Structure 1
Amino acid sequence: MRLGAIEAMRRSTELRLARTVDAARRARRFTTEVCARWRVAQLAPDAAVVVTELVENTLRHTRMAPRLALELHRDELTVRVTDDDPGEAIMREGGHPPGLGLLLVAQTSREWGCERVPSGGKTVWAVLR
């Protein structure tokens, strides 16, 4: 397979967000624009929900600025939000507020998870199809 064909199957982009009140709105807009550019606009509404929840969780539960990464591979969009806080993202039992964010992520995505990064922080990710 040619390198150009491989690149066409996998796309990625990243946005570093400041800790501001409009961070989630900026992340949503960025995600919607990227989905349109990558011709997967049908994924934009679910991706916007996931991005909003993950960015807001970082802002609410850490003192760190979130980093949003989007990757499209074939027809799957992976959303990743990374921060420098080592605390694991945990879905609250029963989904009682606060705690509905990760429940929404779980219901909206095909799969999701949380993993530590070498810098000592974590990445929360979700796969949409």
Structure 2
Amino acid sequence: MSKGLPGPTASGSSRPDDPIMWLRCAILGDVTRVAVAGEVDLSNAHLLTELLESVATRTPLVAVDLSEVTFFGAYGTDALVRARRLLADRGGRLTLCRPAPVVRRVLDVTGTLAGFEVVDAPAPPNGHGRSARPVTIVRAGS
């Protein structure tokens, strides 16, 4: 690894242009399904926050599928807590569908797991069969 490049991510990728998180969103009637895959950390959790805040006004239920998350940091916890609060303020609900063990552990350690409705079943299907959209962090000057 050359000097000045970031070290490998939690998944082992050392290429700075490799996407580390994928997001997929579908609105089906009164349910919004958000699927998250890969790593949720300081560099990208704001994208999850923005997506969840955006869809919180569209349907009364947001189901977040976290089954394919491989790394989950404190900023991911903050994104989920903020979305849950925003939905509750508007009379809606946020459910966590099949959270990966790493997600459960972080939410449990931070004392926030009990505040979430956790469903150990898949989120409602997205109905489109499209693959997740990779999210690549673009740094200024790149």
TM-score (norm 2): 0.31
Higher helix share: 1
TM-score (norm 1): 0.34
